[in-house]
Amino acid sequence: MTDQSLAQASDIAVWVTMVLLTVAMLAFAAHLAITGSRRDAEARAASEGIPRAGSGGTVDSTLAQVRDGAPGAGDPGSGGSGSGVAVLDRAESSPPPTRRWGVIGLQVTWLATFALMAAVALRGLAVERAPLGNMYEFALVAAMFTLIVFSLWSLRRDRLWLGLFVTLPVLLILGLAKISWYTEASDLMPSLNSIWLWIHVSVATLSVALFTIGAVLALLYLAKDRAQAKGEVTGWLAALPSVPSLERITYGIHIIAFPLWTFTLIAGAIWAEQAWGRYWGWDPKEVWTFVIWVVYAAYLHARATAGWTVRKATWLAVAGFVCIMINYGVVNLFFVGWHSYSGV
């Protein structure tokens, strides 16, 4: 039995989440734009030999010279050519970049996270089972885990620069879920009625959430590394952490996600033996789950191998996420097998 009123409440909560994510995305975009433009200005000032505010008191001492009328500090007759005045103007017009919009984006993201958690809980209550029985529900839970990971991570580290690149794909996933993958609340298929649905699919959704953030970080690293090689780190790229820092974060999140995906593969085999009497049957879903595991294993191996550059290894991480998208966006919809549970 399903409770349609709870299912409708879940649908409304998803729409509320999408509205909140749109607001958060715009706030994070403003944060990136402001931070990037400020760092561009600082880079130009450094290239012109103008000291930054707070760099050992140099600016403060120069401002004191300007106020006191000291020679060489902007006195037109001292040969300083107004450099002190230029420093004064730059210092007064260049306050530290504001974090206001980023903080607003994070606060709204927390609201969106709670709204999506409510949507998942209401869906589960409506169908009286784990809300993991079809592509629509899988997308909701994966999006929820992505927001939870980012929001909790932001409590320990400054990740405001990452907000735009998390809220945007989550918004796209929820849009696809509502437009293309939506399934009415219904009872679970008999073959899915197992405790392994909670174990296997929950870990799979958490893994996908981590891989999603990892793919975003990998692409940001590749973009900034390419721009830095060309000497064109400007705009929003300037607001990102350094290239080595981005690469370390990318590697770190994949180190966490890969064992979870390994468990997903093993748990799926155990469930298959209980449900169908065999651990492995070369079903399309099983094959692609293993392909994903191989690609990410290759990334981690290449990352630790001297013969590979970090940039080439990172492209393997991107390829792994492409395989995830094929697995859930193509195999689920167009391949017939034991795992044909999309519900679409």
Please enumerate in sequence order all residues whose Cβ is within 8 A of that of 168, keeping only pairs 6 or more positions apart, or say none: 25
Tell me the DSSP string of 75-117: -TTTT-TTHHHHHHHHHHH-PPPP-HHHHHHHHHHHHHHHHHH
Q: Rounded to an integer, what distance in angstroms lies between the CA atom of residue 187 and that of residue 133?
A: 9
Q: What's the residue count for the chain?
A: 344
Q: Supply the DSSP string of 179-245, one letter for each residue.
A: HTS-----PPPGGG-SHHIIIIIHHHHHHHHHHHHHHHHHHHHHHHHHHHHHT---GGGGGS--HHH
What confidence tens digit (pLDDT) does each residue in 47-63 have? 666 555 444 444 444 43
Buried b (16+ CB within 10 A) or exposed e, 188-219: beeebeeebbebbbbbbbbbbbbbbbbbbbbb
Query: pLDDT tens across 59-92, in order?
Result: 444 434 433 444 444 444 444 444 444 443 444 4
Residue 148: which of 109, 184, 186, 120 has the closest Cα? 109
pLDDT tens, position by position, 148-173: 999 999 998 899 999 999 999 999 99
Which DSSP category does 331 fall into? I
Could you tell me the sign of the dihedral formed by the alpha carbons of 265, 138, 19, 108, in that order? Answer: negative
- 168-215 pLDDT, tens digit each: 999 999 999 999 889 888 777 766 777 888 898 999 999 999 999 999
The dihedral sign for the CA sequence 144, 332, 272, 300: negative
pLDDT of the residue at 93: 46
What confidence score (pLDDT) does residue 160 get? 94
DSSP 8-state code for residue 48? T
Nearest to 65 by CA among 51, 47, 46, 45: 51
Q: Give the pLDDT score at 221.
A: 97
Band of pLDDT at residue 340, cut at 50, 70 and 90: low
